[in-house]
Amino acid sequence: MLVGDVPWEMFVDSCKRLRIMKGKEAIGLASRAMEKCKNRR
């Protein structure tokens, strides 16, 4: 995507919804995501 493809308000709203995680939280997130992928098969 290039600048201008998305209206500015939509971009700002999506940024507000993003959750900034600490490093410790992100480590646990990866293992949980892998478990979900294995369970789907």
Residue 31, pLDDT score: 62
Residue 5, pLDDT score: 82
Tell me: the pLDDT tens digits for 1-41? 566 788 889 888 888 888 776 666 666 666 656 666 666 65
DSSP state of 6: S
Check if the beta carbon of residue 10 is closer than 8 Å to that of residue 17.
no
CA distances from 33 to 18, 21, 23, 26 (A): 18, 15, 16, 11
The whole-angstrom separation of Cα 38 and Cα 41 is 6
Residue 24, pLDDT score: 65
The whole-angstrom separation of Cα 3 and Cα 30 is 30
Residue 12, pLDDT score: 86
Evaluated on CA atoms 29, 11, 9, 6, the torsion sign reads negative
